[in-house]
Amino acid sequence: MKTVITYGTFDLFHIGHLNLLKRAKELGDYLIVAVSSDAFNRVKGKICCIPDYERMEIVEAIKYVDKVIPENSWEQKVDDIKKYNVDVFVMGDDWRGKFDDLKKYCEVVYLPRTEGISTTQIKDELKS
Ligand code: C2G
């Protein structure tokens, strides 16, 4: 069984997130998604509209997703890869190169982002 993992905030869930999860699942048989906690988002300097337990529940309901875990720190990725015997680490290519150190532990894949949609864009449009 080929295990894939990806990490994200998934605030105001949108088609860019869904495309990423769909394509991540196509790279293996079992997809784990680490959803960032509100506390970790404060570390990332991100304020979420949707609380972490709701963002996790929404991601858990996506048919491509097999397991959801909390993302509480930048450093947990190596432990997660070992703990879940991960074969492939996937992120959107806005992160290209940032996680290449994980190549020691598993395959690292950066997928093209979905153009024209982002949580920030949705927030801005709601404001205007
Ligand atoms: N994404 C995408 N296309 C978009 C928007 C997002 O492919 N239009 C991808 C991102 O590249 C990321 C995933 O969807 O792989 C989740 O995006 P965010 O929720 O914005 O996640 P981020 O804040 O980048 O957190 O440790 C890693 C971080 O937790 C990633």
Mutate-to-test residue for ligand 1 from 91, 119, 124, highest number of ligand atoms within 8 A of CB = 91
The whole-number pLDDT of residue 45 equals 92
Q: What separation in Å is there between the alpha carbon of 82 and the centre of ligand 1?
A: 22
The whole-chain average pLDDT of the chain stands at 97
First to last CA, the chain: 47
Q: What is the pLDDT of residues 50-102, one digit of tens each?
A: 999 999 999 999 999 999 999 999 999 999 999 999 999 999 999 999 999 99
The whole-number pLDDT of residue 58 equals 98
Largest CA distance in the chain: 47
β partners of residue 108: 89
Note if 46 is an active site residue. yes
Q: Which residues contact 104 (CB under 8 A, 6 or more apart)?
A: none
Looking at the whole model, is its pTM more than 0.95? yes
Please tell me what DSSP assigns to residue 49: S
The whole-number pLDDT of residue 22 equals 98
The single residue of 2, 44, 83, 123 carrying the catalytic annotation is 44
Q: Which of 58, 57, 69, 56 is nearest to 30 (CA)?
A: 69
Q: Is the Cβ atom of 36 under 6 angstroms away from ligand 1? A: yes
- Could you tell me if residue 12 is left (phi over 0), alpha (psi between -120 and 50 degrees) or otherwise beta? left
Mutate-to-test residue for ligand 1 from 13, 18, 20, highest number of ligand atoms within 8 A of CB = 20
The single residue of 2, 22, 25, 46 carrying the catalytic annotation is 46
Q: Is 8 helix (H, G, I), strand (E, B) or coil?
A: strand
The whole-number pLDDT of residue 97 equals 97
